[in-house]
Amino acid sequence: MKDIFDVAGRCVLVTGASSGIGRHAARMFASRGAKVAVAARRTDRLDALVAEIIKTGGQALAVALDVADGAAVEKAIDTVERELAPIDILINNAGTTWSRPILEHTPTDFAKVIDVNLNGAFYVAHAVARRMAAREASLPPGGGSIVNITSVAAIRTMIRTPAYNASKAGLAHLTRMLAMELAPHRIRVNSIAPGLFITELSQDYVHTERGKAMLAKIPMGRAARDEEMDGPMLLLASDAGSYLSGAEIVIDGAVACAR
Protein backbone atom coordinates (compact mmCIF):
# COMPACT_ATOMS: atom_id res chain seq x y z
CA MET A 1 0.00 0.00 0.00
CA LYS A 2 1.36 3.42 -0.97
CA ASP A 3 2.37 5.73 1.88
CA ILE A 4 0.46 8.95 1.14
CA PHE A 5 2.67 10.79 3.64
CA ASP A 6 5.81 9.89 1.66
CA VAL A 7 8.03 12.89 0.80
CA ALA A 8 11.10 10.96 -0.33
CA GLY A 9 12.84 12.57 -3.28
CA ARG A 10 10.92 15.83 -3.02
CA CYS A 11 12.68 19.14 -2.58
CA VAL A 12 11.77 21.09 0.55
CA LEU A 13 12.81 24.68 1.27
CA VAL A 14 12.71 25.62 4.95
CA THR A 15 13.21 29.28 5.87
CA GLY A 16 14.27 30.30 9.35
CA ALA A 17 16.05 26.95 9.57
CA SER A 18 18.92 28.01 11.83
CA SER A 19 16.97 27.25 15.01
CA GLY A 20 13.68 26.19 16.56
CA ILE A 21 10.81 24.85 14.48
CA GLY A 22 12.66 25.45 11.21
CA ARG A 23 15.71 23.47 12.26
CA HIS A 24 13.54 20.62 13.51
CA ALA A 25 11.49 20.61 10.29
CA ALA A 26 14.65 20.36 8.17
CA ARG A 27 15.86 17.36 10.15
CA MET A 28 12.45 15.70 9.99
CA PHE A 29 12.05 16.04 6.22
CA ALA A 30 15.63 14.92 5.61
CA SER A 31 15.08 11.83 7.77
CA ARG A 32 12.17 10.92 5.47
CA GLY A 33 14.25 11.10 2.31
CA ALA A 34 13.50 14.62 1.12
CA LYS A 35 16.11 16.90 -0.39
CA VAL A 36 16.26 19.82 2.03
CA ALA A 37 17.35 23.41 1.39
CA VAL A 38 17.82 25.33 4.61
CA ALA A 39 17.76 29.12 4.59
CA ALA A 40 18.46 31.77 7.22
CA ARG A 41 20.74 34.71 7.92
CA ARG A 42 23.01 32.76 10.31
CA THR A 43 24.92 30.62 7.82
CA ASP A 44 27.28 29.09 10.39
CA ARG A 45 24.34 27.30 11.96
CA LEU A 46 23.05 26.25 8.55
CA ASP A 47 26.41 24.75 7.61
CA ALA A 48 26.41 22.69 10.81
CA LEU A 49 22.85 21.51 10.11
CA VAL A 50 23.70 20.52 6.53
CA ALA A 51 26.78 18.63 7.72
CA GLU A 52 24.62 16.75 10.23
CA ILE A 53 22.04 15.81 7.58
CA ILE A 54 24.66 14.67 5.08
CA LYS A 55 26.44 12.61 7.74
CA THR A 56 23.23 10.64 8.30
CA GLY A 57 22.84 9.97 4.56
CA GLY A 58 20.54 12.85 3.62
CA GLN A 59 20.74 15.55 0.96
CA ALA A 60 20.86 19.19 2.02
CA LEU A 61 21.95 22.62 0.87
CA ALA A 62 22.46 25.80 2.88
CA VAL A 63 21.57 29.20 1.43
CA ALA A 64 22.04 32.56 3.11
CA LEU A 65 18.77 34.46 3.09
CA ASP A 66 17.26 37.59 4.56
CA VAL A 67 13.59 37.09 3.66
CA ALA A 68 12.90 40.82 4.00
CA ASP A 69 15.11 41.44 0.94
CA GLY A 70 13.06 40.59 -2.16
CA ALA A 71 16.08 40.48 -4.47
CA ALA A 72 17.91 38.15 -2.08
CA VAL A 73 14.88 35.86 -2.03
CA GLU A 74 14.91 35.49 -5.81
CA LYS A 75 18.65 34.80 -5.81
CA ALA A 76 18.43 32.22 -3.03
CA ILE A 77 15.58 30.31 -4.67
CA ASP A 78 17.41 30.28 -7.99
CA THR A 79 20.40 28.77 -6.16
CA VAL A 80 18.26 26.05 -4.57
CA GLU A 81 16.66 25.07 -7.87
CA ARG A 82 19.99 25.10 -9.70
CA GLU A 83 22.11 23.27 -7.12
CA LEU A 84 19.58 20.95 -5.46
CA ALA A 85 16.23 20.54 -7.28
CA PRO A 86 13.02 22.41 -8.17
CA ILE A 87 11.09 23.16 -4.98
CA ASP A 88 8.04 20.97 -4.28
CA ILE A 89 7.39 22.04 -0.68
CA LEU A 90 7.95 25.36 1.08
CA ILE A 91 7.95 25.61 4.87
CA ASN A 92 7.67 29.39 5.21
CA ASN A 93 8.91 29.70 8.76
CA ALA A 94 11.26 32.70 9.11
CA GLY A 95 10.07 35.05 11.82
CA THR A 96 11.02 37.48 14.52
CA THR A 97 9.39 39.43 17.33
CA TRP A 98 9.94 42.41 19.58
CA SER A 99 8.36 42.59 23.03
CA ARG A 100 7.87 45.77 25.00
CA PRO A 101 4.91 47.84 26.24
CA ILE A 102 2.92 49.34 23.38
CA LEU A 103 3.68 52.95 24.35
CA GLU A 104 7.41 52.19 24.14
CA HIS A 105 7.21 50.75 20.62
CA THR A 106 8.58 52.85 17.78
CA PRO A 107 7.56 52.82 14.11
CA THR A 108 10.94 51.24 13.37
CA ASP A 109 10.29 48.39 15.82
CA PHE A 110 6.93 47.71 14.19
CA ALA A 111 8.26 47.89 10.63
CA LYS A 112 11.15 45.48 11.28
CA VAL A 113 8.83 42.73 12.47
CA ILE A 114 6.34 43.27 9.63
CA ASP A 115 9.21 43.21 7.12
CA VAL A 116 10.24 39.70 8.17
CA ASN A 117 7.01 38.05 9.29
CA LEU A 118 4.60 39.33 6.66
CA ASN A 119 6.46 40.97 3.79
CA GLY A 120 9.22 38.36 3.86
CA ALA A 121 6.77 35.48 3.99
CA PHE A 122 5.00 36.91 0.96
CA TYR A 123 8.24 37.41 -0.99
CA VAL A 124 9.24 33.77 -0.46
CA ALA A 125 5.79 32.31 -1.12
CA HIS A 126 5.36 34.43 -4.25
CA ALA A 127 8.77 33.53 -5.67
CA VAL A 128 8.30 29.81 -5.01
CA ALA A 129 4.71 29.81 -6.34
CA ARG A 130 5.77 31.43 -9.62
CA ARG A 131 8.30 28.68 -10.20
CA MET A 132 5.85 25.95 -9.20
CA ALA A 133 3.20 27.36 -11.55
CA ALA A 134 5.69 27.35 -14.41
CA ARG A 135 6.09 23.58 -14.05
CA GLU A 136 2.68 22.61 -12.68
CA ALA A 137 2.44 19.51 -14.88
CA SER A 138 5.54 18.05 -13.20
CA LEU A 139 4.53 18.84 -9.61
CA PRO A 140 3.87 15.87 -7.25
CA PRO A 141 0.51 14.07 -7.61
CA GLY A 142 -0.96 16.10 -4.74
CA GLY A 143 0.46 19.34 -6.13
CA GLY A 144 3.02 21.74 -4.80
CA SER A 145 2.68 22.71 -1.14
CA ILE A 146 3.30 25.98 0.69
CA VAL A 147 3.00 25.84 4.48
CA ASN A 148 3.06 29.22 6.22
CA ILE A 149 3.97 29.14 9.90
CA THR A 150 1.76 31.66 11.68
CA SER A 151 1.03 31.60 15.42
CA VAL A 152 -1.71 31.30 17.99
CA ALA A 153 -1.13 35.08 18.17
CA ALA A 154 -2.99 35.26 14.85
CA ILE A 155 -6.06 34.06 16.73
CA ARG A 156 -5.61 35.34 20.28
CA THR A 157 -4.08 38.72 21.00
CA MET A 158 -0.86 38.77 23.00
CA ILE A 159 0.21 41.92 24.85
CA ARG A 160 3.50 43.75 24.19
CA THR A 161 3.88 42.34 20.67
CA PRO A 162 1.70 44.49 18.36
CA ALA A 163 3.67 43.84 15.18
CA TYR A 164 3.90 40.11 15.85
CA ASN A 165 0.12 39.88 16.34
CA ALA A 166 -0.58 41.94 13.23
CA SER A 167 1.97 40.14 11.06
CA LYS A 168 0.78 36.65 11.96
CA ALA A 169 -2.89 37.55 11.55
CA GLY A 170 -2.03 39.08 8.20
CA LEU A 171 -0.12 35.97 7.14
CA ALA A 172 -3.08 33.77 8.11
CA HIS A 173 -5.39 35.77 5.85
CA LEU A 174 -2.76 35.95 3.10
CA THR A 175 -2.62 32.15 3.24
CA ARG A 176 -6.32 31.91 2.41
CA MET A 177 -6.00 34.38 -0.45
CA LEU A 178 -3.01 32.53 -1.92
CA ALA A 179 -4.84 29.21 -1.60
CA MET A 180 -7.74 30.53 -3.64
CA GLU A 181 -5.63 32.05 -6.42
CA LEU A 182 -3.04 29.29 -6.70
CA ALA A 183 -5.41 26.29 -6.64
CA PRO A 184 -5.84 26.30 -10.46
CA HIS A 185 -2.05 25.89 -10.74
CA ARG A 186 -2.02 22.75 -8.54
CA ILE A 187 -0.46 24.62 -5.63
CA ARG A 188 -1.86 24.17 -2.13
CA VAL A 189 -1.33 26.84 0.54
CA ASN A 190 -2.06 26.17 4.21
CA SER A 191 -0.92 27.43 7.59
CA ILE A 192 0.11 26.02 10.94
CA ALA A 193 -0.46 28.18 14.02
CA PRO A 194 1.83 26.97 16.82
CA GLY A 195 1.22 27.82 20.43
CA LEU A 196 4.03 27.75 22.95
CA PHE A 197 7.00 25.74 21.69
CA ILE A 198 10.31 26.14 23.52
CA THR A 199 12.51 27.85 20.93
CA GLU A 200 15.15 30.57 21.00
CA LEU A 201 12.38 33.16 20.73
CA SER A 202 10.57 31.77 23.77
CA GLN A 203 13.11 30.00 25.99
CA ASP A 204 13.85 33.06 28.14
CA TYR A 205 10.23 34.17 28.19
CA VAL A 206 8.91 30.93 29.73
CA HIS A 207 11.01 31.55 32.86
CA THR A 208 9.52 35.00 33.47
CA GLU A 209 6.44 35.55 35.58
CA ARG A 210 4.42 36.26 32.44
CA GLY A 211 5.77 33.12 30.82
CA LYS A 212 4.90 30.97 33.79
CA ALA A 213 1.41 32.46 33.83
CA MET A 214 1.05 31.63 30.13
CA LEU A 215 2.09 28.02 30.74
CA ALA A 216 -0.46 27.78 33.54
CA LYS A 217 -3.25 28.78 31.13
CA ILE A 218 -2.55 26.00 28.62
CA PRO A 219 -5.36 23.44 29.03
CA MET A 220 -2.98 20.55 28.30
CA GLY A 221 -0.69 21.85 31.06
CA ARG A 222 2.59 22.06 29.16
CA ALA A 223 4.47 23.59 26.24
CA ALA A 224 4.66 21.67 22.97
CA ARG A 225 7.45 19.31 21.94
CA ASP A 226 9.17 19.88 18.59
CA GLU A 227 8.05 16.53 17.20
CA GLU A 228 4.42 17.50 17.73
CA MET A 229 4.74 19.62 14.59
CA ASP A 230 5.65 16.59 12.47
CA GLY A 231 2.22 15.08 11.82
CA PRO A 232 0.45 18.31 10.83
CA MET A 233 3.43 19.43 8.75
CA LEU A 234 3.62 16.13 6.88
CA LEU A 235 -0.13 16.15 6.30
CA LEU A 236 0.01 19.55 4.63
CA ALA A 237 3.27 18.93 2.75
CA SER A 238 2.53 15.48 1.33
CA ASP A 239 -0.08 13.94 -0.96
CA ALA A 240 -2.05 13.05 2.19
CA GLY A 241 -3.29 16.64 2.09
CA SER A 242 -4.04 16.71 -1.62
CA TYR A 243 -7.47 18.37 -1.15
CA LEU A 244 -6.45 20.62 1.74
CA SER A 245 -5.87 24.23 0.82
CA GLY A 246 -6.61 27.40 2.78
CA ALA A 247 -6.68 25.37 6.02
CA GLU A 248 -5.23 26.44 9.36
CA ILE A 249 -4.04 23.83 11.84
CA VAL A 250 -3.68 25.16 15.38
CA ILE A 251 -1.17 23.33 17.59
CA ASP A 252 -1.53 24.98 20.97
CA GLY A 253 -2.81 22.48 23.54
CA ALA A 254 -6.35 23.91 23.23
CA VAL A 255 -5.42 27.49 24.16
CA ALA A 256 -7.36 29.03 21.26
CA CYS A 257 -10.49 27.14 22.31
CA ALA A 258 -10.73 29.43 25.33
CA ARG A 259 -10.93 32.65 23.33
Q: How many domains does the chain have?
A: 1
Which positions are catalytic? 164
Burial environment of residue 216 by CB neighbours within 10 A (0 to 12, 13 to 18, 19 or more):
exposed
**Whether the Cβ atoms of residue 248 and residue 232 lie closer than 8 Å to each other:** no
| Containing structural domain, residue 152 | 11-198+227-242
Whether the model clears a pTM of 0.85, i.e. scores above it, the answer is: yes
Evaluate whether residue 114 is within a structural domain. Answer: yes
Evaluate whether residue 91 is within a structural domain. Answer: yes
Spatial CB neighbours of 222, under 8 Å, sequence gap ≥ 6: 215, 253
> How far apart are the C-alpha atoms of 122 and 7, rounded to whole Å?
24
CATH code, 182:
3.40.50.720
Evaluate whether residue 247 is within a structural domain. Answer: no
Spatial CB neighbours of 24, under 8 Å, sequence gap ≥ 6: 226, 227, 229
Which pLDDT tens digits describe the chain residue by residue (259 residues)? 689 999 999 999 999 999 999 999 999 999 999 999 999 998 999 999 999 999 999 999 999 999 999 999 999 999 999 999 999 999 999 999 999 999 999 999 999 999 999 999 999 999 999 999 999 999 999 999 999 999 999 999 989 999 999 999 999 999 999 999 999 999 999 999 999 998 776 777 788 887 888 889 899 999 999 999 999 999 999 999 999 999 999 999 999 987 6
Evaluate whether residue 192 is within a structural domain. Answer: yes
Q: Checking phi first, is residue 186 left (phi over 0); if not, alpha (psi -120 to 50) or beta?
A: left
Evaluate whether residue 253 is within a structural domain. Answer: no
List strands edge to edge, sheet with 35-40. 59-64, 35-40, 11-15, 89-92, 144-149, 187-194, 248-251
**Whether the Cβ atoms of residue 187 and residue 143 lie closer than 8 Å to each other:** yes
Evaluate whether residue 179 is within a structural domain. Answer: yes
Evaluate whether residue 252 is within a structural domain. Answer: no
Residue-wise burial string across 173-203, b where 16 or more C-beta atoms lie within 10 A, e elsewhere: ebbbebbeebeebbbbbbbbbbbbbebebbe
